Amino acid sequence: MARLNELNLIDALEGLKTGRFTSTELVTACYEQIEQFDPVVKAFVTFTKERALEQAKEADDLIQKEGGKAFEKKPLLGIPYACKDNFSTTGIETTASSNILKGYFPPYESTVTTRVNEAGGIMLGKTNMDAFAHGSSTETSDFFKTLNPWDISRVPGGSSGGSAVAVASDMCIFALGSETAGSIRGPAAWCGVTGMKPTYGRVSRYGVIAMASSTDSPGPLTKTVDDAAYVLEIIAGKDPFDATTSPKSVPEYSGFIKDFDLKGFKIGRPRSYFEIDLEDEVREIVESAVKKYEELGAEIVDMDLLDPKYSIAVYTILQRSEVSSNLARLDGIRYGQNREAFGMEARKRMMLGAYTLSAGYYDAYYSKAQKVRTLIIEDFNEAYKKVDLVIGPTMPSIALKLGESDNSPMFGELMDVLAEPSAIAGLPGISINAGFSRGMPVGVQLIGQQLTEGNVMGVAKVFQQNTDFHLNRPVIKSSE
């Protein structure tokens, strides 16, 4: 029998409902795993063990009292999760892995964690990330580097690296992350888990420490697509505290993808996503995933999309500009440390953003980028007249070795090249494990039109129903 912490969300819920085990046992199993392996991979920056065990006890009491009915009002009752450190959590230190926010205890809770907690979810702790989500390797955390559990000489990807590692290492049942362009899908691909980046505005940004406000999208990192659908249903939806959230009602994703049928589905294979500098094995694995979809009844359509190199440029300008505006508020007066505490990466991004927004350069950079953004959106709109979804590699390579990003001032932007176009256009995308290259997981991503999370997850689920890549777990070896 699988150890409790190894269960996926759906199975863990079933076990709690039927009384096969208690939430206290489940939470304890997660902490046992954390205590054994977190000293090696370092996924967490803060633990909330005492509180979690109290909440588990409360959950167990409620289940004892109300039985299965308790889950109708609290669909995540007794489920332990890990939370990226950029979600504000009342009274629990929230730093976005930055020195400048060290010692900051938010007086309010983010909408996403509020919803998860009200649904009965139990937070195990906060996970490490690139400081302020500025990065794609979790190496730019101001505290320490998180290591990839499949090979601890490699990075986990980022910026939601800690969350991806916590899921891949079975330290939690699911995790919360956020993506600006690649920060959920990237680490999910490199750690071999499922990462769902929703449509911009589908999930509230309220209480999430801002990176680039026009693309920031919170979302789940999970063990299966079913789990992602289940969590998304809970965290998605209109929020009066975030005016950019969509007023459209949230579909019942779990039910929608239950018996998903690929027949008649057109999946676009953009040539430009396969023509960039991909590792050979990554290309082969993604091509075999495309073939698998064809076997399963989908129609594969070769198509053109704008060269993603334009998205690197657009994203770099928009993100640096928005970062410069968002980090201007950190003055050390109301909370946090003073601006001397900013790390290298944040300084670099703020300053370039201040430049691209400044008088005289605004038109050449910021305005130009926003115009090309329009072209990228129109390009996708044209594509979705012909296909239902777009498929491609998530990352151009397997996880890199630690330290390899040091040479490039645009490392993150270059690594996230395949996530940037969809992020700029606010589209939903999922990354799932499609195979292994030299023992490291390789992700394939599916990208849909805005607010078609159901289709995106449905098509991804069919892949997991017919393959078992997502069931593989790393054997964590310490360096000795």
Partner 1 sequence: MKLKQQEIPLSNGFSFVIITFDMSELIITKEQVKRIAHLCKLQLTEAELEKFSQMFTQTLAVIDVLNELDTSDVPETYQVTGLGNVFQEDVEQKGTLTQEEVLKNAKNKKRGLIVTKGVFDR
Tell me which residue of 382, 478, 415 sits closest to 147, measured CA to CA: 478
Residue-wise DSSP of 115-151: HHHHTT-EEEEEE--SGGG--SSS---SS----BTTB
Nearer residue to partner 1 within complex by CB, 15 or 270: 270
Among 277, 295, 468, 480, binds partner 1 (CB under 8 A): 277
Q: Which of 23, 178, 183, 217 is catalytic?
A: 183
Smallest separation, CB 87 to partner 1 (Å): 17
314 touches partner 1 (CB under 8 A): yes
Helices (H) then strands (E): counts for the chain = 17, 11
Query: How many residues line the site for partner 1 (CB under 8 A)?
Result: 70
Per residue in 72-110, is it b (16+ CB within 10 Å) or e — as a string?
eebbbbbbbbbbbbbbbbeebbbbbbbbbbeebebeebb
Q: Which of 84, 145, 223, 461 is catalytic?
A: 84
Q: Which stretch binds partner 1 (CB under 8 A): 130-138, 173-181, 330-338, 455-463?
A: 330-338
In the residue annotation, 84 being an active-site residue is answered as yes
Q: Where are the alpha helices (DSSP H) in 296-419?
A: 308-326, 344-357, 368-386, 411-415
Nearer residue to partner 1 within complex by CB, 304 or 331: 331
* Beta-sheet strand order (sheet of 194-197): 44-47, 122-127, 80-84, 174-179, 217-222, 194-197, 429-437, 440-447, 389-393, 266-270, 299-303
Cβ 157 vs Cβ 181: under 8 Å:
no
Smallest separation, CB 322 to partner 1 (Å): 11
String of contacts with partner 1 for each residue 338-357, x by CB under 8 A: -xx-x----xx-xxx-xx--
Distance CA 461, CA 315 (A): 30
In the residue annotation, 397 being an active-site residue is answered as no
Subset of 228-247 contacting partner 1 (CB under 8 A): 240, 243-244, 246-247
Smallest separation, CB 108 to partner 1 (Å): 6
In the residue annotation, 183 being an active-site residue is answered as yes
Angle between helices 308-326 and 344-357 (to 10 degrees): 100
334 touches partner 1 (CB under 8 A): yes
Catalytic positions, written as ranges: 84, 159, 183
Where on the chain is the footprint of partner 1 (CB under 8 A)? 103-105, 107-108, 200-201, 214, 240, 243-244, 246-247, 277, 279-280, 309-310, 312-314, 316-317, 324, 328, 331-336, 339-340, 342, 347-348, 350-352, 354-355, 358, 365, 367-375, 377, 396-398, 400-401, 404, 407-411, 414, 424-426, 438, 450
